[in-house]
Amino acid sequence: MHNFEFVKPSTVEEAVAALQSDEAQPMSGGQTLLPTMKQRLAAPEKLVSLTGIASMQGVSAVGGVLTIGGATTHATVATEAAAHYPGLAGLAAHIGDPAVRNRGTIGGSLANNDPAACYPSAALGSGATIVTNAREIAADDYFQGMFTTALEEGEIVTGVRFPIPQASNYQKFEQPASRFALTGVFVAKYADGVRVAVTGASEEGVFRWTEAEAALSANFSPDAIEGLSVSADGMIGDLHGTPAYRAHLIKVLTKRAVAAAS
């Protein structure tokens, strides 16, 4: 790994200032970035740790909205969101493994937008709002393709606001070696309709399965999507699964998620 300067600011303002220099990179839990740096696929000259910023920590629920600080770990979300938003807590409780969950953060996951990460499906499936140091971004506008988001250079995810649904569930089919989602589906039922977000499957990254949303909004039961199918066009194909296999999984997992949520 190439060497770098490590800085650990205690406020968002200090972090934003530290990120102004060229080749500076923010890091939260580092569970993706650090291995990436070992492989020399990333080589920042300055690494700005976000884990010392108190205002980016914690989970709170007020008025039907769950707010999570950007540097909150998966383990903390799994515990502290459980009473408010069990579907989201359940997702967080099964990311990676216990050691990874003690370091990895929601803001880091959303900023990276790995096509097989779990959290993007929850954010998109909840119609969440991504809060940065500069603005607020609707999830529908935030995710812009594999490893691509609306974030500008040096912009930090300081928090995420999730409208709390009436019912929700996340189902993933794990890639047997990496345990990332080969395909994962997040379903959330709100008073004004159902949202279905799919991760792991598309070459465009996380996306909404709008036909299923319409069917489930009319009838929230697994049978409601029996007649639907997902096209294999644009799905990821690799040695772990063909595009057709992933397309099939989307429907299977959506039905399981609806069954588990109802």
Binding site residues, another protein, CB under 8 A = 1-6, 8, 30-31, 34-35, 37-38, 47, 49, 51, 75, 96-100, 102-103, 179
The distance of closest approach from Cβ of residue 105 to another protein in the complex, given in angstroms and rounded to an integer, is 13
Three-state DSSP at 188 gives strand
User: Closest CB to another protein among 3 and 20?
Assistant: 3
User: Closest CB to another protein among 15 and 224?
Assistant: 15
Give the DSSP H or E segment for 157: strand 157-163
Q: Which residue has the tokens 């920590």?
A: 57
Sequence-distant (≥ 6) Cβ neighbours of residue 222 within 8 angstroms: 255, 256, 258, 259
User: Closest CB to another protein among 99 and 218?
Assistant: 99
Task: Give yes or no for a contact between 211 and 228, defined as CB atoms under 8 angstroms apart.
Answer: yes
For the sheet with 46-49, list strands across it: 5-7, 46-49, 24-27
User: Closest CB to another protein among 34 and 150?
Assistant: 34
User: Closest CB to another protein among 18 and 198?
Assistant: 18
The distance of closest approach from Cβ of residue 39 to another protein in the complex, given in angstroms and rounded to an integer, is 9
User: Angle of helix 243-261 relative to helix 210-218, nearest 10 degrees?
Assistant: 30
C-alpha 71/C-alpha 8 separation (Å) is 13
Task: Give yes or no for a contact between 240 and 180, defined as CB atoms under 8 angstroms apart.
Answer: no
Beta bridge partners of 1: none
Reading the block at residue 47, the tokens are 């690494």
The distance of closest approach from Cβ of residue 1 to another protein in the complex, given in angstroms and rounded to an integer, is 5
Q: Which residue has the tokens 């009436």?
A: 166
The distance of closest approach from Cβ of residue 247 to another protein in the complex, given in angstroms and rounded to an integer, is 28
The distance of closest approach from Cβ of residue 8 to another protein in the complex, given in angstroms and rounded to an integer, is 7
Give the CA distances from residue 13 to residues 32, 53, 153, in Å, rounded to whole numbers and listed in that order: 24, 10, 15
Q: Is 24 exposed, middle or buried (0-12, 13-18, 19+ CB in 10 A)?
A: buried
User: Closest CB to another protein among 44 and 222?
Assistant: 44
The distance of closest approach from Cβ of residue 91 to another protein in the complex, given in angstroms and rounded to an integer, is 15
The distance of closest approach from Cβ of residue 55 to another protein in the complex, given in angstroms and rounded to an integer, is 19
User: Closest CB to another protein among 54 and 99?
Assistant: 99
C-alpha 136/C-alpha 123 separation (Å) is 13
